[in-house]
Structure 1
Amino acid sequence: MRKILIVGAGQSGLQLALGLQSKGYEITLMSNRTADEIRGGRVMSTQCMFRTALGHERDLALNFWDELAPRVEGLGLSVAGPPASGGHPRVVDWVGRLHGHAQNVDQRIKMAGWMETFEQRGGQVVIHGAAVSDLDVLDRKYDLALVAAGKGELVSLFDRDAARSPYDTPRRALAVAYVHGLGPRPEHPDFDAVRCNLVPGVGELFVMPALTTTGRADILFWEGVPGGPVDAFRGITDPSEHLERVLELMEWFTPWEYARATKVELTDAGGTLSGRYAPTVRHPIGRLPGGGLVLGVADVVVANDPITGQGSNSAAKCAATYLASIVEHGDRPFDEEWMRTTFDRYWQSARHVTRWTNTMLAPPPEHIVNLLAAGTTFPAVAHRIANGFDDPSDFEHFFYEPEKTAAYLDEVREEAEAAEAAAALAAAEAESEADDGAEADDGAGIGGGAEAIRSVR
C-alpha cells in the first residue's frame, strides 16, 4: 500500500485525501487545526462552486450538503455609473441562468465535516502546523508528499513563476461579511443568483447565497482597488464595525443592493474576514533541504485573486486531476518528471482561470465594455458569461480579442433578429393581432450601457 502525506486541510487537501483513501492508499493528513477548531473559528473564504467542481465532489460521494445549501441558479452583473444624488445608479443590469446549479457551503462546515469523515474512515490526522524542517524529516517516510496549505512557511518552497505572474503586489483589498436578513433581488425573486456589482475604478461587490454554521445566509464581499474608497478595512477588528463599513460602502456605491440589506445582521462573531494578497503562479516542485521533492497543490502554486470566484473551483479541479494522475501512475516512483507532468495537466485548466482573473483585475478595454453591456440587451450573452464561471476556457472564444468579441456580438444580434422575424412571420400567418414590429434591436442598448461604463472606468 502506497503511503502519501498531504499537508493542508482545505478544499484541495481534504478532497484529495478522501479520494485517495477511497482508492486504498494510506494517507496521513496534516492540519494546523482540529475539526472543532475549524468549525468554531472565523470564516475562511467565499466559496461558491459551480457545476464541474461540484461534480468532482459528487464523484467521491462528498456532497453532504446538497439538500441544505441554497440552489444558486443564476449569475448576474450590475455596473455602477457616475455618481448622482443618492449614490451611483446602475447603467448595466442582467442575470444569466446557469446550466447546472451552483452551491456555496461555508468552509467551516465542509472542512470540519470532511476531516471527521476522513478520520472515521481510518485516515490519520496529525494536528501540527508543519514547517520546512518537519517536512524534511517526514518526507522520507512517504512515497509522495503534497503541500496543500496555501499560507505559511511551506509556500516559500515554491518559487514564483514570473512569466505567469504579471502582478507582484495585491490588486484588491478584500472584505467579507456573512449575514442573515438580506432580502431577495426584486429582478428575480423566484431563484437565487450570485450578483456581481462592478464599480469602475473603485472595486466590486459580490453578493452570494450560502449555507453557514447558523443556516441559510448571504455573503457580502467587497473587493476594493488599493488606496481607493473601498480599501477601508485596515485596523478594523470589531465585527460590528466591519459590517457597518460594508453597508456604508454599499449605500453609496451599490444602492440597489443596499436597499435589500437594511435589516441584515452578522451570522456569528466569526463571520467577517479581510486581507489582501498578490495573485501568484509558482513553480510546482519544492526542494527540501535534505534533497526530497514535494508537489504543490491548488493555490499553493496557482493563487488567483477571488474577483472571478474560482478559488474553491480550481482547488476541486486540481484535486481531481492529481487524484487521477496518482492512481494512473501505479507503483512507479513519484519522481520530478511525474510531478511536473501532473502539474502541467492541471495547468491546462488553471491557465484559463489565471488569464481571465488577471484580465478582470485591469481596467476593461473597449470590447469588453461592449460585451458586458450587451448582456442587458441579449440574454444569450448574459447566459454565456454566467456559464463561463463554470468553464473559463470558453472565454478564449469570445472575450479577450476585440475581433472575436465583435464577431460574437454580430452573431448574437443576427440570431436575435432572425428569431424576431420568425416570430413576426408566425404571428402574421396566424392573423394574430400581436404587434409584429416590436423591438427590432439596432444595438442602441449596447451603446448606452457601454458609454456609461466608459465614462467612469
Structure 2
Amino acid sequence: MRKVLIVGAGQSGLQLALGLQAHGYDVTLMSNRTADEIRTGRVMSTQVMFHTALQHERDLQLGFWEQAAPRIEGLGVSVAGPEDPQGGPPRVVDWLGRLDGYAQSVDQRVKMAGWMETFAERGGQLIIHGAAVSDLDYFARAYDLVMVAAGKGELVAMFGRDAARSPYAEPQRALAVCYVHGLGPRPEHPGTEAVRCNLVPGVGELFVMPTLTTSGRADILFWEGVPGGPIDAFQGVRDPSEHLALTLGLMERFTPWEYARATKVELTDAGGALSGRYAPTVRHPVGRLPGGGVVLGVADVVVANDPITGQGSNSAAKCAASYLEAILARGTGPFDEVWMQQTFDRYWDIARHVTKWTNAMLAPPPEHVLNLIGAAGGAPAVADRIANGFDNPADFEHFFYEPRKAAAYLAEVAG
C-alpha cells in the first residue's frame, strides 16, 4: 500500500485525501486546526462551486450538503454609471445569465470540518500540527509522496514564483467579506437564486452570493476594492459589526440597488467577517527540502488567482481531481520530480485559462469587452454564455479576449 502525506485540509487537500483513501492508499492528513476549531472559527473565504467542480465532489460521493445548499441557477452582472450626488450611481447595464448546471456555495467551515471528520471516521490518520519545512524533511523519508496543499505560511516559500506566468507583483484588490442573514431577493428575479456581480468602474466590484453556513441559508457580501480607492477601507477594522456597517455604507453609496435589499441584514455569527489582500501568483510546482527530498504543490499553493472571477474553490477541486487521476495512473512508479512537473503541467492546461481570464478582469476592460457585457443585456444567449464561462473559463478563448472574435460572435448572435 502506497503511503501519501497531504499537508493542508482545505478543498484540495481534503478532496485528494478522501479520494486516495477510497482507492486504498494509506493517507495521512496534516491540519493546523481540528474540525471543531474550523467549524467555530472565522470564515475562510467566499466560494461558489460551479457544475464541473460539483461533479468532481459527486464522483467521490462527497456532496453531503447538496440538498441543503441553495441551488444557484443564474449569474447576473450590473454595471454602475457615473456617481450621481442626487441619487447614487444608476445602473447602465443589468442582466441575468442562466447556468446550464446549477452552482452551490457551502461555507468552508461547514465543508472542511465535515470532510475532516469523514476522513478520520474512514480510518485516515489525521495529525493536528502546523507543519514546518523541518517536519516535511523528516516525513519525506517515510512517505512515497508528500503534497503541500496549505496555501499560506512558510511552506509556500519552498515553491519559487514563476515570473513569466505572474504579471502582478502586488495585490490588485483589497478584499472584504461578510456573511449575513436577512438579505432580500433581487426584485428582477425574486424566485431565482443567483450570484450577482456588480461592477463599479475605477472603484471595484461587489459580489453577492447565496450560501449555506453554520446557521443555515445565508448570503455573502464581498467587496473587491481597487487599492487606494474608496473600497480599500477595511484595514485595521477588527470589530465584525463595524466591518458590516462599512460594507453596507459602501453599498449604499456605490450599489444602491443592492443596498435596497440589505437594510435588515445582520452577521451570521461573530466569525462572519474577513478582510485581506494578496498578489495573484503562479509558482513552480516542485518544492525542494533541505535533506534532498521533493514535495508537490497543490492548488493555490502553486496557482493563486484573485477571487474576482470566483474560481478559487473550483480550481482547487479541479486540481485535486487532476492530481488524483495522475497518482492512480502512476501505479507503483516513483513520484519523482519529473512526474511532479508532468502532473502540474497537466493541471496547468486547465488552470491557465483561469489565470488568463482572472488577470484580464483585474485590468480596465477594453472596448470590445464592454461591448460584450453591454450586448448581454439585450441578448440572452450572450448573457448565458458569459455566465457559463464561470464553469468553463476555456470558452472565453473563443470570443472574449480578441476584438475580432468578439465582433464575430456578436454578429453571429445578431444574425
Give the TM-score taking structure 2 as reference length. Answer: 1.00
In the TM superposition, what is the alpha-carbon distance from 1:97 to its structure 2 partner?
0.4
Instruction: Name the CA distance, whole Å, in 1 between partners of 2:41 and 2:165.
Output: 34
Tell me the equivalent position of 2:80.
80
DSSP-derived class of the 1:248 partner: helix
| 1:34 equivalent in alignment to 2:34 | yes
Match of 2:18 in 1: 18
Counterpart-to-counterpart distance in 2, 1:248 and 1:189: 24
Aligned to 1:127: 128
Within 5 Å, give how 1:66-105 maps onto structure 2: 66-84=66-84, 85-105=86-106
Offset of residue 86 of structure 1? 2.0
- What one-letter code is carried by the residue in structure 2 that aligns with 1:43? V
Secondary structure, aligned partner of 2:104: strand
The aligned counterpart of 1:195 is 196
CA distance in structure 2 between the partners assigned to 1:136 and 1:24 by the alignment: 25
Alignment of 1:51-200 (within 5 A): 51-84=51-84, 85-200=86-201
Q: Which amino acid aligns with 1:83?
A: E
Cα deviations by residue, 1:420-457 (Å, 9 ceiling, x for unpaired): xxxxxxxxxxxxxxxxxxxxxxxxxxxxxxxxxxxxxx
CA distance, structure 2, for counterparts of residue 89 and residue 213 of structure 1:
35
CA deviations over 1:200-244 (Å, ceiling 9, x no partner): 000000000000000000000000000000000010000000000
What is the rounded CA distance, in whole Å, between the counterparts of 1:74 and 1:376 in structure 2?
Answer: 14
Q: Deviations over 1:401-438 (max 9, x none)?
A: 00000000000111xxxxxxxxxxxxxxxxxxxxxxxx
Q: Which residue does 2:282 correspond to in 1?
A: 281
CA distance in 1, matches of 2:374, 2:258: 19
- Match for residue 358 of structure 2? 357
How much has 1:87 moved relative to structure 2? 1.2
Q: Per-residue deviation at 1:265?
A: 0.2
Query: What secondary structure sits across from 2:139 in the alignment?
Result: helix
- Equivalent residues of 1:10, 1:149 under 8 A apart: yes
Matched residue type, 1:67 = Q
Counterpart residue number, 2:325: 324
Paired residue secondary structure (2:141): helix
Does residue 272 of structure 1 match 2:295? no
Report SS of the residue matched to 1:156: helix
AA partner of residue 63 (structure 1): G
- Following superposition, the deviation at residue 166 of structure 1 comes to 0.2
Take 1:410 and 1:253, find their aligned partners in 2: how far apart are those partners?
33
Secondary structure of the equivalent of 1:140? coil
Distance in 1 separating the partners of 2:66 and 2:139: 37
Asked if the contact 1:208/1:220 (under 8 Å) is kept, the reply is yes
Is contact 1:205–1:221 with CA below 8 Å preserved after alignment? yes
Report Cα offsets for 1:169-195 as digits up to 9, x if no partner.
000000000000000001111110000
Alignment of 1:280-319 (within 5 A): 280-319=281-320
Letter in 1 for 2:95: W
Partner of 1:240: 241
CA–CA separation in structure 1 for the residues paired with 2:327 and 2:139 = 19
In 2, Cα distance between equivalents of 1:220 and 1:365? 27
- CA–CA separation in structure 2 for the residues paired with 1:119 and 1:47: 24
Report if the CA contact (8 A) 1:6-1:145 is conserved.
Answer: yes
Distance in structure 2 (CA, Å) of the matches to 1:119 and 1:276: 33
- Provide the C-alpha distance between the structure 1 equivalents of 2:339 and 2:408, rounded to a whole number of angstroms: 41
Cα contact 1:285–1:339 (8 A) shared by 2 = yes
* Secondary structure, counterpart of 2:103 in structure 1: strand
For 1:236, what is the secondary structure of its paired residue? coil
Counterparts of 1:363 and 1:356, CA distance in 2: 13
Give the whole-Å Cα distance in 1 for the aligned partners of 2:22 and 2:231.
Answer: 45
Map residues 415-454 of structure 1 onto 2, 5 A cutoff: none
Alpha-carbon separation, structure 2, partners of 1:47 and 1:352: 19
CA distance in 1 between partners of 2:373 and 2:281 (Å):
26
String of CA shifts for 1:113-133, please: whole Å, max 9, x gaps: 000000000000000000111
Q: Which amino acid aligns with 1:106?
A: D
Structure 2, unaligned runs of 5 or more: none
Matched residue type, 2:104: Q
1:9-36, Cα deviation, whole Å (9 max, x unpaired): 0000000000000000000000000000
Contact kept? 1:285, 1:340, Cα under 8 Å: yes
Structure-2 separation of matches of 1:401 and 1:67: 40
Instruction: Structure 1 unaligned segments of length 5 or more: list them.
Output: 415-457
CA distance in 2, matches of 1:6, 1:139: 11
Q: Is the 8 Å Cα contact of residues 86 and 252 (structure 1) preserved in structure 2?
A: no
Of the two, which has the highest radius of gyration?
Answer: 1
Aligned to 2:338: 337
1:281 and 1:64 map into 2 onto residues whose CA distance is: 31
Q: CA separation in 1, counterparts of 2:312 and 2:235?
A: 23
Instruction: Say if 1:96 and 1:379, in contact at 8 Å, map to a contact too.
Output: yes
Task: Kindly state the Cα deviation for residue 390 of structure 1 after the two structures are TM-superposed.
Answer: 0.1
Identical positions, percent: 78
Deviation at 1:48, TM superposition (A): 0.4
Aligned pair count reads 414
TM score, norm. by length of structure 1: 0.90
Equivalent residue of 1:386, what SS?
helix
Q: Which residue pairs with 2:263 in the alignment?
A: 262
Q: Deviations over 1:370-408 (max 9, x none)?
A: 111111011100000000000000000000000000000
Asked if residue 392 in structure 1 is aligned to residue 360 in structure 2, the reply is: no
Q: Secondary structure at the match of 1:49?
A: coil
Secondary structure of 1:246's partner? helix
The residue aligned with 1:447 is none
SS in 2 for 1:176: strand
Quote the residue 1:453 is aligned against.
Answer: none
**What does residue 2 of structure 2 align with?**
2
Supply the distance in 1 between the matched residues of 2:182 and 2:327 (Cα, whole angstroms). Answer: 45
Q: Give a deviation string over 1:337-358, Cα, whole Å, max 9, x none.
A: 1101100010001000000000
Distance of 2:91 and 2:184 partners within structure 1: 19
